Chain A
């Protein structure tokens, strides 16, 4: 059996009120050690208040070749943005 520690993706909440953000990855034997290592590697300068770790193999991702079908449809739907609508000045801020 190959004895390389599995790869974990690390997500850090930078400050209270913000969502967790992907910051990088690391190797660890299990989740507990992944959290400890993430603390040592990614939060040495007050970069975080909370850590999530996910084993990389559990992440499902969209494929780059699907980029067109997935994301292009929203490009033409400009009515989804507030700037599409003219609100008369007399109405005031909306």
Chain B
């Protein structure tokens, strides 16, 4: 998802007999759905895993602004432009909520940003795909934010209080994101034949990358078990992916677009849609840094950080000078 393939800091789940008294009390709290708060005792591995996951989630919100920002100046109408601006601004806020949640675990925002820029932390694979035209912007809101919602709704029940509360805030804003995207793609799907063709093309290109957002299949995600026991993760990758597919197919059908995968079929027995797995080698390749836009995204992020340095330093110098003057006057 926005946090894919988070390595759990520990090796496997500790059996209860081997837990210390503190660890046992901690696990009992989690099992009873009592939230863990910043100053509560927590295992070091829980803290480290959370920093990785929340940090990656935060980075994804921020980097996720780039593919959409790409179209702000070229939105087809003033209204669509205002909507897209508001949406992208929300994503900056989501990044902020999440960095703040991570900071309660004893890491600073600047440290996390440095780790991202040094390539030591990641963001979601989805943002390494390009947005080639306006239909892609509709498809991103509809599918990418749609997939994010499925994950984030589940995470509202995550065990770490500040993370869960950030998810609640974010979810409130996300449904606007998905709806504005669907509204934009709907205008094209019911527009001219050329617009409809572009809508179909956007769906076809973004469908599998959207499915990859949930991370590798459960059989392959080796680090899930401990994260599930700690309720850092609430549902498995495959469960969330299925939920997303099930909710999205009727939306595609409404648009009268062709399904992006010939194997999509309602399975009466399972009560779910069957669908093809995404191309996992492609996924791992994108994660490794070889997607179509990895290099550009990092270049833009680092440039924004470096170019903004004089502003950050200038404002801080001014604040310090003012504070010193006030002290001197007292």
Interface residues of A (CB under 8 A from B): 3-5, 7, 24-27, 29-30, 33, 40-41, 44, 61, 63-64
Contact = CB atoms under 8 A, between A and B. Distances in A.
Contacts of B166: 24
B31 interface: no
Interface in B306-330: 312-313, 315-316, 318-319, 322-323
Given A3-B312, A44-B89, A29 B39 contact: no
Contact of B319 (A25, A26, A29, A44): A29
A5 B316 contact: yes
Nearest to B40: A64
A4 B108 contact: yes
Contacts of A30: 315, 318-319, 322-323
Contacts of B282: none
Given A64-B37, A64-B39, A27 B316 contact: no
Contacts of B323: 30
B260 interface: no
Contact of B39 (A7, A44, A61): A61
Given A24-B169, A44-B89, A3 B39 contact: no
Contacts of A29: 312, 315-316, 318-319
Interface in B58-95: 86, 89-90, 93
Contact of A3 (B109, B165, B169, B316): B316
Interface of B: 37, 39-41, 86, 89-90, 93, 96-97, 100, 103, 108-110, 165-166, 169, 312-313, 315-316, 318-319, 322-323
A65 to B, nearest CB: 9
Contacts of A3: 312-313, 316
Given A4-B110, A7-B103, A27-B109, A63 B39 contact: yes
A24 B165 CA distance: 9
B100 A26 contact: yes
Q: Is the interface of B mostly helix, strand, loop or mixed?
A: helix
B112 to A, nearest CB: 11
B264 to A, nearest CB: 36
A36 to B, nearest CB: 11
A44 B323 CA distance: 30
B158 to A, nearest CB: 16
Nearest to B309: A3
Contacts of B110: 4
A26 B96 CA distance: 7
B97 A24 contact: yes
A33 B169 contact: no
Contacts of B108: 4
A1 B89 CA distance: 31
Contacts of A64: 37, 39-41
B109 A41 contact: no
Q: Which of B86, B96, B322 has the most CB of A within 10 A?
A: B96
A70 to B, nearest CB: 14
Nearest to A32: B319
A9 B190 CA distance: 47
* 7 closest residue pairs by CB, A with B: A30-B319, A29-B315, A29-B319, A25-B100, A4-B110, A29-B316, A64-B40
A68 to B, nearest CB: 13
A78 to B, nearest CB: 23
Given A41-B93, A63-B39, A24 B100 contact: yes
A5 B97 CA distance: 16
A25 B313 CA distance: 20
27 contacts: A3-B312, A3-B313, A4-B108, A4-B109, A7-B100, A24-B97, A24-B100, A24-B166, A24-B169, A25-B100, A26-B100, A29-B312, A29-B315, A29-B316, A29-B318, A29-B319, A30-B315, A30-B318, A33-B315, A33-B319, A41-B93, A44-B90, A44-B93, A61-B39, A64-B37, A64-B39, A64-B41
